[in-house]
Amino acid sequence: MRIVSMEPLDKRRSRVLGDGGLAFVLYGGEIRHYQIEEGKELAEETYQEILELVLYKRARERLLYLLKLSDKTESQLRKKLDEGLYPREAVEAAIAFGKRYGYIDDVRYAENYVALKGGRKSRRQIAYELRQKGIGEEIVRECLEENPVDEDSQIKKWLEKRGFDPETADEKEWGKTVAFLSRKGFSYTAILDIMHKKY
């Protein structure tokens, strides 16, 4: 691999770009140690050594640091490691490490998320947010089936909070209330059912 460029990221680190589009970040001392220079070839053996002795370890440490702050999905961790300019091999090794030791578990993440948000958010809203976090459709569906969300009580709470009275509300208030609750992710059927029951 020929080194195309080395761009400083800060005072200590540089982004090394190879001719195959491969990029990784090294500290100045590491660049000097491996004698990396623009326009010169980087032997495959040297690159493998950098991967195994430097980048794999650094990607694992970054993954553990990210998980120390809060639980994350596999997709979120991949994105963060990609943003850190770790090469694909280092990202895959870090993710495999996280899974092997149980640090990454999308099913556990989804179950915890439903347990935490199930009393305040609709099933649809929770499903949307989990998908945004990179949780697969099948995991989302199974998790919501095994951990039902009580939407009826949530709708009742919102109606009480808004002071909605079905007997005195005019057509405009009905419409505004239905629109408000549907934006929260509740289905029209569930909303109207509770509203008509005088909750």
Give the pTM: 0.82
Tell me, what's the pLDDT at 78? 97
Name the pLDDT band for 198 (thresholds 50, 70, 90): low
| Residues 58 and 86 sit within 8 Å (Cβ to Cβ) | yes
What does the alpha-carbon distance between residue 172 and residue 74 come to, in Å, rounded to a whole number?
Answer: 45
Contact 185, 121 (CB under 8 A): yes
Task: Answer with the residue of higher pLDDT: 20 or 114.
Answer: 114
pLDDT in tens, 126-162: 999 999 999 999 999 999 999 889 999 999 999 999 9
**Unique residue bearing structure tokens 């057509």:** 171
On the question of pLDDT at 199 being above 60, the answer is no
Please, what is the average pLDDT of the chain?
A: 94
**Among 1.10.10, 2.60.40, 3.40.1800, 3.30.950, what is the CATH number of 55-104?**
1.10.10
d(C-alpha 153, C-alpha 49), whole Å = 59
pLDDT in tens, 74-84: 999 999 999 99
Question: Which residues in 73-87 are b (16+ Cβ under 10 Å) and which e?
Answer: bbebbbebbeebbbb
Give tens-digit pLDDT for 84-107: 999 999 999 999 999 999 999 999
pLDDT tens readout for residues 162-184 = 999 888 889 999 999 999 999 99
Q: How confident is the model at residue 21, as a pLDDT?
A: 84
For the chain, give every domain's residue range: 1-42, 55-104, 106-146, 152-196
